[in-house]
Amino acid sequence: MAISEISVDELDERLAEGAHLVDVRLPHEFEESHVAGAVLVPLPSVPDNVEALRGDAPVYVICKTGSRSLRACEFLGAQGIAAVNVAGGTLAWIRSGRGYVTGTE
């Protein structure tokens, strides 16, 4: 199954349109820095949150570099959920000069 993937530039556009972003890193990583509006769903808990992630619109998934989020997208895709991986992850987002937030919100 091919997984859809977007750049951080495309993610920025999607977020401006109201897209839902899920961050699959661990809580301490999320607290250090994350894209504003991202919801934390650590990778080990993705299977427990399938129904919460199910919806009509795609779910955009991010991690630190794009590897864990790719695994999450593969799993979600197998569950019939349209999941899109963010290439380069949070590091690419920060390196692009875009803002980020810290803490749990």
Q: Which two tokens stand for residue 87?
A: 């290439």
The model's confidence at residue 2, banded by pLDDT at 50, 70 and 90, is: confident
- From CA 40, how far away is CA 34, in angstroms rounded? 9
In tens, the pLDDT along 48-59 reads: 999 999 999 999
Would you say 86 and 19 are in contact if contact means Cβ atoms under 8 Å apart? Answer: no
Q: Which two tokens stand for residue 14?
A: 């999607």
- From CA 74, how far away is CA 13, in angstroms rounded? 23
| The CATH number of domain 4-95, selected from 3.40.50.300, 3.40.250.10, 2.60.40.10, 3.30.1360.120 | 3.40.250.10
In tens, the pLDDT along 17-50 reads: 999 999 999 999 999 999 999 999 999 999 999 9
What's the whole-model pTM score?
0.96
- From CA 78, how far away is CA 46, in angstroms rounded? 12
Residue 1 in this model has a pLDDT that exceeds 80: no
Bridge partners (DSSP) of residue 34 are 101
